[in-house]
Amino acid sequence: MSESSLLKTIKHNCDISDARDNGIYSICTLVLKLRNHYKWEHGLEPWEEPDSPVLLDWIAAKEEYWETIHAEPFSPISINGETVDPFLLPIINKHLSVDNQLYGAGYGRSMKAVFFMAEILEDRQVEGCPTMILGKESARELSSPFAMLQDGVIYIRKEPMRFFFWDQIQEINPSSRIAMQQALAEYGLMKDGCSLERKKLIAIFDHIVAEELEIFIYHEVGESQENLLDSNVLKKIIAAYPASALELLARAVKDILADTHPKGLLSHIVTKEKTSSLGFYLSFLDGMRKLLCPELNEAGKDFWHNGDWSLLQTARRQCRGKNEAIALKLKGLSQRLDQGEPPEKLRIWAEKNVLAPLGLQVPDREEGAT
């Protein structure tokens, strides 16, 4: 298969993944992802907005195309006349290595298939973990996770990361505004302490992304070191309860354990005393993750006033201990699924014993598992 044919196959598998599983997103999230996908396809910068009628027509055409392919299986990839499963990365990447390209495939949120192909910018070691920094992408699907750990290798995708950073800065939640302002102030971007200097932000945007890469690298380092809630446990919970509060909780706990690991993201930020990274990290906390670590937000608020880094280390340890307890419950749920207990019975048990104590709303039921 020629490189152009190989790329065409990868792009087609990206489209099949999007056609099958775009329903995992809310309407607002799907529109945002489609908008960014349009920008990527058309070579636009994150701050360049397409005309609304043009974008809407493109989205309509995309959705019509999805209808024609959503039932297709993923296409195999042909390498030197050999048909290769699209998830067999070593064989495909051995073929691509001469062109400094890297192919990625796997599964993300709600087991949505992820495919991409990108140029390799840098190959480094971080805390003993091989780390690949990737640049320009020639293929990607909607979810485009920009930081991944796969088979002990960390992958950082700069292109989707740029869109993430821009969107987060522009659409910051009011409850996270102070943290974001503190982060941007470290780069001299806050005029009179409250107004973002947009032109200056655009001018130094790629410098900011490059400087803050380590936030995401050290999240993955923490994940590589963490074994309490491993990928097998997560996969079992997702398989039994896809797109549920239990999946969201398991993913959030896994993320927090990675961030609060002694070699993870928060310890790195505190050791380096990097205020900008702390501000970005706290402003990125949302949804379930924010619910699970109020200690970090409270310590952050105090830190902006007194600059005491020890507050963050104390909060990190407290947050970790609390989430380790939740992880043990989730691990127990996974083990009971392995033992063949009915998933619906275990769902009732988990709603009562895992979700309800966290204040997460669950349906009223007359019976429960023990």
Query: pLDDT tens across 200-218, in order?
Result: 999 999 999 999 999 999 9
Q: What is the mean pLDDT of the chain?
A: 92
In a domain, 192, yes or no: no
When pLDDT is averaged across residues 23-37 and rounded to a whole number, the result is 94
For residue 29, tell me if it sits in a domain: yes
My answer on whether 328 and 225 are in the same domain is: yes
Q: Is the pLDDT of residue 174 over 70?
A: no
**Judgement on whether residues 221 and 152 belong to the same structural domain of the protein:** no
Are the C-beta atoms of residues 233 and 329 closer than 8 Å to each other?
no
Q: Model confidence at 361, in pLDDT bands (50, 70, 90)?
A: low
User: For residue 122, is it within any domain?
Assistant: yes
Q: What percent of the chain has pLDDT over 90?
A: 80
- Which range has the worst mean pLDDT, 99-103, 138-142, 159-163? 99-103
Confidence band, pLDDT 50/70/90 cuts, at residue 368: very low
% residues pLDDT > 70 (the chain) = 95
Q: Domain range spanning residue 318?
A: 214-358
Quick one: 149 and 229 in the same domain? no
Same domain, 153 and 218: no
pTM of the model: 0.91
Q: Are residues 130 and 270 in the same domain?
A: no
Task: Let me know if residue 173 belongs to a domain.
Answer: no
Region 316-345: mean pLDDT is 95
Q: Which phi and psi angles does 329 have, rounded to 5°? A: -65, -40
Are 127 and 223 members of one domain? no
pLDDT at 320 over 50: yes
Mean pLDDT over 125-134 rounds to: 95
How many structural domains compose the chain? 2
Region 185-192: mean pLDDT is 89
Q: Which of 158, 179, 199 is the last residue of a domain?
A: 158
- Which amino acid would we find at residue 286? D
Say whether both 149 and 28 belong to one domain: yes
Q: Is there a domain that residue 240 lies in?
A: yes
Q: Do 218 and 147 share a structural domain?
A: no
Token pair in block for residue 167:
């969107």
Give the per-residue pLDDT at 3: 54
226 and 148 in one domain?
no
Residues 190, 290: contact at Cβ < 8 Å?
no
Choosing from 131, 158, 185, the residue where a domain stops is 158
Q: 111 lies in a domain?
A: yes
Judge whether residue 370 has pLDDT over 60: no
- The reported pLDDT for the residue numbered 366 is 45
B/e letters for 74-86, b = 16+ CB within 10 Å, e = fewer, are beebebeeeebeb
Q: CA nearest 165: which of 69, 62, 307, 47?
A: 47
pLDDT for the residue numbered 105: 96
Residue 100 forms part of a structural domain = yes
The confidence score (pLDDT) of residue 369 equals 46
Query: 162: how many CB neighbours lie within 10 A of its CB?
Result: 20
Would residue 262 count as lying in a domain? yes
Domain stop point among 158, 180, 203: 158
Same domain, 40 and 150: yes
The predicted structure's pLDDT at residue 362: 63
Write the pLDDT tens digit of every residue in 266-284.
999 999 999 999 999 999 9
pLDDT tens digits for range 79-127: 888 899 999 999 899 888 768 899 999 998 888 999 999 999 999 999 9
Both 95 and 238 in a single domain? no
Structure-model confidence comparison of residues 14 and 107, the more confident one? 14
Note the pLDDT tens digit of each residue in 214-241: 999 999 999 999 988 888 898 899 889 9
User: Which residues lie below 8 Å from residue 336, measured CB to CB, with a gap of 6+?
Assistant: 346
Beta strands, E only, 48-111: 77-79, 82-84, 101-107
Question: How many Å apart are CA 341 and CA 108, to the nearest integer?
Answer: 26
| pLDDT at residue 355 is higher than 90 | yes
